[in-house]
């Protein structure tokens, strides 16, 4: 499973990139607004830090304007994935960009039917929102399983399942068990993957026992 971080905070991105565990970045208008920075220069900066796909989302909702915005975004760097909404106009843009060799991330997916349409439009990534489905008492993870099953039935589909709206390590692990290709989540959730009380307990015991030897490696 590839690990993307869902943030526009350049410091968080640099910190995770230094671990070697980061495969890409996803952003959206809300994250850009939170950063307080200029959109285009920020995406350029992120692309300089991360070699993998960097999702940059269009702001428009109509076809003509989305297409113009996409032209600007995909010129930032070869590894920019233009992010479009799962709407008729968004999928039209997706089809055209994909045919021209540009990565497209189709976002705001909430059903297997929508995911099927995105794959047929040639999307590089489909972003089903697990956490937001959980928020309305629906089973977000079941959507991941359904999409993976559908895509596996059709070898001609090359769309990667990018699990979005990740709220906990459970979302990541369960999605990985289902065979999802990518997950994107906040840096705070990714860091939670390190945590286990038995790791902390074992390390504390090792440190204490080492002190008793009176030795030093350095």
Angle (CA) 83-87-90 rounded to 5° is 40
> What is the CA 210 to chain-centroid distance, rounded?
41
According to the 3-state scheme, what is the secondary structure of the chain?
A: CEEEEECCCHHHHHHHHCCCCCCEEECCHHHHHHHCCCHHHHHHHHHHHCCCCEEEECCCCCHHHHHHHHHHHHCCCCCEEEEEECCHHHHHHHHHHHHCCCCEEEEEECCHHHHHHHHHCCCCEEEEEHHHHHHCCCCHHHHHHHHHHHHHCCCCCCCEEEEECCCCHHHHHHHHHHCCCEEEECHHHHHHCCCCHHHHHHHHHHHHHHHHHCCCCC
Residues serving a catalytic function are 83
């Amino acid at each position: 499973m590839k690990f993307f971080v869902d943030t526009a905070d350049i410091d968080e991105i640099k910190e995770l990139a230094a671990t070697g565990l980061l495969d890409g970045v996803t952003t959206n208008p809300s994250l850009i607004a939170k950063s307080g920075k200029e959109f285009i220069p920020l995406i350029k900066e992120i692309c300089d830090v991360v070699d993998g796909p960097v999702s940059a989302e269009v702001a428009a909702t109509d076809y003509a304007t989305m297409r113009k915005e996409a032209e600007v975004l995909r010129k930032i760097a070869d590894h920019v994935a233009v992010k479009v909404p799962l709407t008729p106009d968004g999928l039209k843009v997706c089809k055209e960009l994909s045919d021209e060799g540009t990565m497209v991330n189709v976002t705001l997916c909430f059903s297997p039917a929508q995911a099927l349409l995105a794959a047929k439009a040639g999307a590089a990534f489909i972003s089903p929102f697990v956490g937001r489905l959980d928020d309305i008492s629906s089973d977000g993870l079941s959507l991941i399983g359904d999409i993976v099953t559908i895509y596996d039935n059709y070898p001609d589909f090359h769309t990667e399942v990018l699990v979005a709206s990740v709220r906990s390590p459970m979302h990541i692990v369960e999605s990985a068990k289902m065979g999802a290709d990518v997950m994107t989540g906040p840096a705070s959730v990714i860091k939670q993957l390190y945590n286990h009380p038995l790791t902390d307990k074992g390390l504390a015991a090792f440190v204490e026992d080492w002190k008793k030897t009176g030795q030093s490696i350095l």
